[in-house]
Structure 1
Amino acid sequence: METRTETWHSAAIGRPKSVTIALPPGYSRTGRPFQVVYLLHSFGGNRHSWLSCPRVAEHAARHRLILVLPESGRAWFINDDRGRRYEDYLVGEVVLRVDARFNTVADRTGRAVAGFSMGGAAAVFQTLRHSDVFSVAGSNSGAFGAARRVGDPYHRHRGDRGLMMPTERDHERVWGPPGSRVRRRYDPRNLLVERDRTAPLAVYLDVGLGDFERMIAMNRAMREELLTHGVPHEYRERPGGHDWRFVDAGAEHLLGFVRAHLA
């Protein structure tokens, strides 16, 4: 896939930001428009993280999908406790910029958002909050328990190489202390109760059987919440841990689901 970079001064973030766009073979500014998948990285990632997954590009090309890769570093794609407005940036700037400059299906029926770990949870959160913008959400090992996290449940793993989980300090810089307004705003139970039920949604979730026990538990809990609230979804548990190899191995399932549920 051909990649391009879009850079502009973000009003929401207050500084220049760049987004990578991956275009499928045969992309043209004219003719039938292309559906778009926004891919959100994990904690500490960037707009190049998803490009480490060759099967993602392969299946996106097969399904004629444009991939959009924004970045937030160690901040979530939410409006957080410190005043960083990554939700406003994603929904109010990135989507509009992509639709203005590329040949896209410029409405909710042509847009999906997916992610890994913090990006996976954020993708589902933003779809529930902005069902007028996105119609499909996908998550690989989504960190759905972030709003209820207390302390550092990953402390015994801190010596593990490549651990992609925030410390208590990093977590509270985004989410605030337990009981904060931000935590209440993005708690999955509240989002499901408050969502717009007139907008059809579809959600894909998976998690690795070799992932952290807490991560497996929170994905199972999220599945139960979706069942309780009648949200159409697909849920998988498959081999793998909390890493990009797991993400790449599941690209066919994730993007196949996205393609099947976009109009």
Structure 2
Amino acid sequence: MTRFRTVEVSDPRFEHEGLRWLTVRGRGLAGRGDITVHVPPEVEGRHGVPLVVLMHGVYGSHWGWAFKGGAHRIAAAMIRSGEIPPMVLAMPSDGLPGDGSGYVRQSRADYEEWIVGDVPAAVRHATAAVGDGSAVFLAGLSMGGFGALRLGARHPDRFRAVSGLSSATHLDQLCGFMAEAPGWEGAGVEDPGVLEAMLRAKRLPGIRFDCGTEDPLLEGNRALHRGLEAAGIAHEYVEHPGGHTWEYWERHLPETLRFFAARS
């Protein structure tokens, strides 16, 4: 039985700058999910191309990384210059409950399975360049950074490396960004903290994260760094000037892509 009940893919005649749009009804969500995909021309005729999944923060959706951060243009320029190999970007919605799903399992839907299982499978459906042998990388900003770091720890067999930009490091931190009670309250979420998830893992993917020195989540990132150092867990952590803004994420996304390229 197929993973998806329905798959809608944009018509190539109307796609622009290598961007493709998918709407799928899969296993994880109670309804449909949207994914913006960047398929650069350099992957034409190739197979086993790396896949990078970029996750957004609270209030956002699948179009944010492309149309607020220019992620596809950043990746395209780096591919053209030879700085990174050709790779496909997948930018999914989080499932769109309330102000944000946290990318965790909830009673209404399994937003973890949406990212871990449905999104890579949907991209394989949409482009032959990504296949079962493709390395899959996971990254995100804020809530998406929390999702990337936590899901990478929980599913190290699915992701070769993970990266968080300005990441929340515990579910509780996300509540401060939300206008209403999140759907995970009372759901008994496993591993609500990134450090907790990483300490429980028998093995881990490559790990990096960064944060701005004016970011309200800075202390949580520093605490995660200290906790990983104390546990002897290999990782890369960097601080830069800047806050919790798209200007910061646009400027520092290349570091994440270079980190992934070195492991592709």
Long gaps (5+) in structure 2? 1-16
1:3 Cα deviation from its structure 2 partner: 0.7
CA contact (8 A) 1:136 1:202 kept: yes
Change in CA separation of 1:228 and 1:175 when aligned onto 2, cut-off 3 Å: farther
CA contact (8 A) 2:26 2:32 kept: yes
Equivalent residues in 2 for 1:48-63 (5 A)?
48-51=63-66, 52-54=68-70, 56-61=71-76, 62=79, 63=84
Determine what percentage of the aligned residue pairs are the same residue: 24
1:142 Cα deviation from its structure 2 partner: 0.3
1:229 Cα deviation from its structure 2 partner: 3.1
From 252, 256, 260, the counterpart of 1:250: 252
Give the letter for the 2:28 counterpart. A
Aligned-residue CA RMSD (Å): 2.1
Say if 2:192 is the partner of 1:208.
Answer: no
CA contact (8 A) 2:53 2:137 kept: yes
Query: Taking structure 2 as the reference length, what is the TM-score of the superposition?
Result: 0.81
Find the counterpart in structure 1 of residue 188 from structure 2: 181
Bigger share in helix: 1
Find the counterpart in structure 1 of residue 87 from structure 2: 65
Secondary structure of 1:132's counterpart equals: coil
Query: Taking structure 1 as the reference length, what is the TM-score of the superposition?
Result: 0.81
Find the counterpart in structure 1 of residue 54 from structure 2: 39
CA contact (8 A) 2:102 2:171 kept: no
CA distance in 2, matches of 1:258, 1:144: 21
1:101 Cα deviation from its structure 2 partner: 3.4
CA distance in 2, matches of 1:25, 1:31: 10
CA distance in 1, matches of 2:212, 2:131: 32
Count of equivalent residues: 235
CA distance in 2, matches of 1:58, 1:5: 16
CA contact (8 A) 2:137 2:260 kept: yes
CA contact (8 A) 1:116 1:142 kept: yes
Long gaps (5+) in structure 1? 155-164
Change in CA separation of 1:129 and 1:34 when aligned onto 2, cut-off 3 Å: same
CA distance in 2, matches of 1:187, 1:120: 12
CA distance in 2, matches of 1:11, 1:105: 19
CA distance in 1, matches of 2:245, 2:74: 19
Find the counterpart in structure 2 of residue 241 from structure 1: 243
Find the counterpart in structure 2 of residue 79 from structure 1: 105
Q: Could you list the per-position Cα deviations for residues 173-227 of structure 1 after superposition, in whole angstroms to 9, with x for gaps in the alignment?
A: 23315xx621x43322331232132xx5211111111111xx1100001112222
Give the letter for the 1:40 counterpart. M
Equivalent residues in 2 for 1:53-132 (5 A)?
53-54=69-70, 56-61=71-76, 62=79, 63=84, 64-72=86-94, 73=96, 74-80=100-106, 82-102=107-127, 103-104=129-130, 106-107=132-133, 110-132=135-157
**After the TM superposition, which of the residue ranges 93-102 and 127-136 deviates more from structure 2?**
93-102
Give the letter for the 2:65 counterpart. W
Give the letter for the 2:29 counterpart. I
Secondary structure of 1:26's counterpart equals: helix
Change in CA separation of 1:21 and 1:237 when aligned onto 2, cut-off 3 Å: same
Secondary structure of 1:124's counterpart equals: helix
